[in-house]
Amino acid sequence: MTGTKIASTAAAGTGSGPFLLDVRGLSKTYRSSDRTVEAVRDLTFGVAPGELACIVGPSGAGKTTLLKCVAGLLPPSGGEVLLDGARVLRPPENMAVVFQEYGRSLFPWLTVEQNIDLPLRQKKVPKRRRRELVAEALESVGLADVPGAYPWQLSGGMQQRVAIARAVAYEPAVLLMDEPFAAVDAQTRAELEDLTRELWRRLGMTVLFVTHDIEEAVYLGQRVLVLSAAPTVIMEDTAIDLPAEREQLATRSAPRFAELRAHIYSQVQRAKTYHRADPAGRPADPAGDEADHAEARP
């Protein structure tokens, strides 16, 4: 891959505003009586308002840990997360998260409509507006005809659409997504990717999207950040200079897409053995006993 043609910042961690989301020197170490795990060592990056940034990294790199810290669900061990200049100390009102495990993120005893409505009630949105938001969100994910169904009566892909509808109805300024399509089939995944881009462009949200799928990151993102193996740092920050109009077949078969995919792939390979003390990166272990999770789809 020719480095000159790809606009990237190796081991970036750079950042001068104006960012909506500003992660500064974030670290997280899990401590229990018998074990200490340094998951995130030192992460610094910013996401501009309205930007769609993807994060890829080896399995166990600390991607979910990072998102939980950003979402205010987990206190960092060091550093800070700022949302619109204010430090995140608890889940912010204007942020929503879509988790990978839709099966566990929807309440089985509530209907689709009630699942989407619940956070709006907590936000104290007036009833009439809530009804509008729920109906619009269901319409936008193509589920207008199942408001009264229970999650367990729906397919996996439909349940994930409900989770997306719930996040969108909440009208968040920032949407965090943690490998949201990992458990659905390839066709549904492609549809949900397009839905995500369509909603992002229409609603002007800022999106931070975590995936282990390099192709997905390149297809979706305006930017791809590559995380090193734990303890995690940002190894690479690549601008995805594909046209804004993306289409599954045409975009994925474009020569530029292939170049970007190959570049990110090589960075993820490097990420598996990257250590701060060794910024050049040691050669990747060809046996690759871990982290094969982060790869391009065949």
Ligand X SMILES: Nc1ncnc2c1ncn2[C@@H]1O[C@H](COP(=O)(O)OP(=O)(O)OP(=O)(O)O)[C@@H](O)[C@H]1O
131 binds, options ligand X, Mg ion, none, Cβ within 5 to 8 A by partner type: none
* CA–CA separation, 177 and 96 (whole Å): 9
Instruction: Tell me the β-bridge partners of 239.
Output: 223
Of the pair 64, 111, the CB lying nearest Mg ion is at 64
Binding residues among 18-77 for Mg ion as defined by CB under 5 A: 63-64
Of the pair 16, 36, the CB lying nearest ligand X is at 36
The contact set with ligand X (CB under 6 A) reads 30, 37, 39, 57, 59-65, 212, 230, 293
* CA–CA separation, 295 and 267 (whole Å): 11
Of the pair 69, 125, the CB lying nearest ligand X is at 69
Of the pair 41, 130, the CB lying nearest ligand X is at 41
270 binds, options ligand X, Mg ion, none, Cβ within 5 to 8 A by partner type: none
Task: Report in angstroms how near the CB of residue 179 gets to Mg ion at its nearest.
Answer: 6
60 binds, options ligand X, Mg ion, none, Cβ within 5 to 8 A by partner type: ligand X
65 binds, options Mg ion, ligand X, none, Cβ within 5 to 8 A by partner type: ligand X
- Peptide bond preceding 126: is omega within 30 degrees of 0, i.e. cis? no
What single-letter DSSP state applies at residue 115?
A: H
Parallel, antiparallel or unpaired: strands 21-31 and 78-83: antiparallel
Task: Report in angstroms how near the CB of residue 64 gets to Mg ion at its nearest.
Answer: 3
Of the pair 73, 89, the CB lying nearest ligand X is at 73
> If we measure between CA atoms, which residue out of 65, 69, 121, 76 comes closest to residue 91?
69
Task: Report in angstroms how near the CB of residue 114 gets to ligand X at its nearest.
Answer: 29
Whether residue 218 contacts residue 257, with contact meaning beta carbons closer than 8 Å, is answered with yes
List CB contacts of 259: < 8 A, sequence separation 6 or more: 1, 5, 6
Task: Report in angstroms how near the CB of residue 211 gets to ligand X at its nearest.
Answer: 9
26 binds, options ligand X, Mg ion, none, Cβ within 5 to 8 A by partner type: none
Task: Report in angstroms how near the CB of residue 271 gets to Mg ion at its nearest.
Answer: 15
3-state secondary structure (DSSP) of residue 114: helix
Task: Report in angstroms how near the CB of residue 201 gets to ligand X at its nearest.
Answer: 27
Task: Give the residue at shortest CB distance from Mg ion.
Answer: 64
Give me the DSSP letters along 4-58: GGS-EEET-----S--SEEEEEEEEEEE-SS-EEEEEEEEEEEE-TT-EEEEE--
Instruction: Provide the H-helix boundaries in the chain.
Output: 63-70, 102-105, 112-122, 127-140, 156-169, 186-203, 214-220, 248-252, 255-271
Residues 95, 99, 103: CA angle, nearest 5 degrees: 135
Task: Report in angstroms how near the CB of residue 236 gets to ligand X at its nearest.
Answer: 16
92 binds, options Mg ion, ligand X, none, Cβ within 5 to 8 A by partner type: none
In the numeric block, which tokens belong to residue 124? 């104290």
Binding residues among 241-260 for Mg ion as defined by CB under 5 A: none
Of the pair 60, 147, the CB lying nearest Mg ion is at 60
User: What Å distances lie between residue 32 and 65, 69, 77, 203, CA to CA?
Assistant: 16, 18, 14, 42
Of the pair 101, 171, the CB lying nearest ligand X is at 101
Residues of the shown chain interacting with Mg ion in the complex, contacts defined by CB under 5 A: 63-64
